[in-house]
Structure 1
Amino acid sequence: MSRKKYNSNHKVVLITGASSGIGRATAELLLQKGHIVYGFARNSEVLQEIKGLRPIPGDMKDEKSLEAAVKKICDEQGRIDVLINNAGYGLLGAVEDVPIEQARRQFEVNVFGLARLTQLVLPSMREAGSGLIINMSSVGGRVYFPLGAWYHASKHAIEGFSDSLRLELQEYNIKLVIVEPGLIATNFYKLAEEPLTRYSSNGAYSGVAKAISHNLSQSYRTMSPPSVVAYTVATVIESKHPRRRYLVGKLARVLFYARHLLGDGVFEQIAKKQTR
């Protein structure tokens, strides 16, 4: 693979889930900073709207589209400096209610798609002797709430996967950073409410489901904008010695410390209040 000469301050970046929310805000900011940004997402029309972005339409569940994306970038640029695994969604609903095939889909996108793309990018980074992987987890990968078991499980999986992988990559000078957003004003919560209503609005867990849905809609207006996460990602890319984790956005630190300083018992009392 031929490697092009380049300005070391300008990175070749691949970001998934680039068509909206955190992914789009991050892609736009990195483009403003002069980086070469490839955006991977299902919605090709929206990708085309982002000025300067190099769009790659594809699906995180489709092996061939992941392989094609990595090949395209390596053929055009000779390297991938930064991989931002941002694609994902939230599946809410009681464990008893959510069909197991939907739970599997949650893991295919949030965990296995992320893992497979990472596998595909690593050979290029090892050859270069450097690289940066940013895995977009969530404060939901450190805490938990009722009717979020499948989503929390997928984010907890990303946390463990990332920590272990970081140790594997140290000798190759490849850094791995986890970003853990709190409450961010994107369409994430509106999309998450749909399965919550579909699967759990009737039956044994209907009261809890309605309370959670109400609380989500009420809190949306005061959530942090996606730009706060985008600026954190840019800071990570520009840092010579980034931290292993970054909590960012509304309630991220509050929720994390509430669990880890107060203990599980007190935290669960707080979590239960969200269902009333």
Structure 2
Amino acid sequence: MTKTVLITGCSSGIGRATAEVLAANDFEVYATARRTESIADLEAKGCKTLALDVTSEESMVAAVEAIPQGIDALVNNAGIQEVGAIESVPMDRVRGLFETNVFGPIRLTQLVLPQMRERGAGTILTVGSMNGKFTWPGTGYYCGTKHALEAISDALRYETRPFGVRTVLVEPGFVKTPLGKTAVGRRIQEAGPYTTFNDEVAEVTSSYTTGALGMLACSAEAVGETILKALTSDRPRARYRVAPSAGLFMTLRKVLPDAGFDALLRSQMPKPKP
């Protein structure tokens, strides 16, 4: 029986790759993005496309209602990056980041869960990050959104299991997608004590998938294949790590004390200059 999946954030990167992988493996894929023209080409690859803005209640409700046969799996993937020292990021941008990365996935989950509970089956899969386990300086708010997804997924997994609904969290490490490059454009550029630091963090973030660190990165398609594995497994794991960097850095954070991990970051990351 063909399963229907709704995927957010399909204009590029992991969302686009996942839509292509699932469509090629007999899923009925509803690929979504804020602008449908950015995903129109996915229709030729077997996907159906919908407009969906995860910061808009009206848009999310309309997208769910546009799938009358019901949704077997929700892939919460849409997300944005934000670079800037904690003190330097304006609160409207902090709120916007959490609206997209946290509150949107929460609300979509609330919208699809009633039908899944009624059927006694379904999967809520959220694309988190290794950054849900530790924090890079200069991206504290972004990492905070990923930490939030970890906690929410843990609670949801426990709460939905009695209804036959499975909850899965995918934790990619460095992934070769445009997200890192967009960090340069989204950095906080106002003059102040963190201007140089924010610029340097943005440049480092955009280079994670090149050079020596590129050896620890994976493709967006590799994440899509992992999502396929989770959605087709009879007993999916609670978490799936993807990319060598995820295993490496998450292990280091687990075994090193706070002072040791801070020292590691100081050796690799820019520092604010008083």
Report the TM-score, using the length of structure 1 for normalisation.
0.91
Equivalenced residue count is: 263
Asked if 2 retains the 8 angstrom alpha-carbon contact of 1:209 and 1:275, the reply is no
Matched, 1:155 2:155: no
* Alignment match, 1:16: 8
Aligned-pair CA distance for 1:145: 1.1
Structure 1 distance, partners of 2:207, 2:7, is 30
Structure 1 distance, partners of 2:200, 2:267, is 10
* Alignment match, 1:31: 23
Aligned to 1:191, which of 182, 187, 208? 182
Matched, 1:129 2:120: yes
Structure 1 distance, partners of 2:263, 2:192, is 23
* Alignment match, 1:108: 99
Matched, 1:61 2:55: yes
User: Root-mean-square deviation (CA), in Å?
Assistant: 1.4
SS where residue 220 of structure 1 aligns? coil
Distance 1:179 1:85, change over 3 A: same
* Alignment match, 1:244: 238
Gaps of 5+ in 2: none
**1:38-81 superposed Cα distances (whole Å, 9 cap, x missing partner):** 012112112211122111112111101100111111x2x2x211
Q: Which amino acid aligns with 1:272?
A: R
Q: Which amino acid aligns with 1:239?
A: S
Aligned to 2:65, which of 65, 71, 74? 71
Gaps of 5+ in 1: 1-6
Asked if 1 retains the 8 angstrom alpha-carbon contact of 2:189 and 2:199, the reply is no
**1:109-147 superposed Cα distances (whole Å, 9 cap, x missing partner):** 111111000000001101110111101111011110111
Q: Which amino acid aligns with 1:238?
A: T
Aligned-pair CA distance for 1:197: 5.0
Structure 1 distance, partners of 2:161, 2:206, is 42
Matched, 1:88 2:79: yes
**1:79-113 superposed Cα distances (whole Å, 9 cap, x missing partner):** 21100000011111011111001000001111111
Q: Which segment is superposed worse, 236-245 or 219-228?
A: 219-228
Q: Which amino acid aligns with 1:59?
A: D
Asked if 1 retains the 8 angstrom alpha-carbon contact of 2:83 and 2:202, the reply is no
* Alignment match, 2:224: 230
Structure 1 distance, partners of 2:30, 2:231, is 15
Asked if 2 retains the 8 angstrom alpha-carbon contact of 1:236 and 1:242, the reply is yes
Aligned-pair CA distance for 1:161: 0.8
Structure 1 distance, partners of 2:56, 2:162, is 31
* Alignment match, 1:265: 259
Asked if 2 retains the 8 angstrom alpha-carbon contact of 1:212 and 1:274, the reply is no
* Alignment match, 1:3: none
* Alignment match, 1:203: 192
Percent identity (aligned): 39
Structure 1 distance, partners of 2:188, 2:225, is 33
**Deviating 4+ runs (over 4 angstroms):** none
Asked if 1 retains the 8 angstrom alpha-carbon contact of 2:34 and 2:51, the reply is yes
Asked if 1 retains the 8 angstrom alpha-carbon contact of 2:5 and 2:74, the reply is yes
Asked if 1 retains the 8 angstrom alpha-carbon contact of 2:128 and 2:172, the reply is yes
SS where residue 177 of structure 1 aligns? strand
Structure 1 distance, partners of 2:51, 2:244, is 31
Aligned-pair CA distance for 1:195: 2.4
* Alignment match, 2:32: 40
Aligned-pair CA distance for 1:212: 2.2
Q: Which segment is superposed worse, 263-272 or 112-121?
A: 263-272
Aligned-pair CA distance for 1:206: 3.3
Asked if 1 retains the 8 angstrom alpha-carbon contact of 2:184 and 2:203, the reply is no
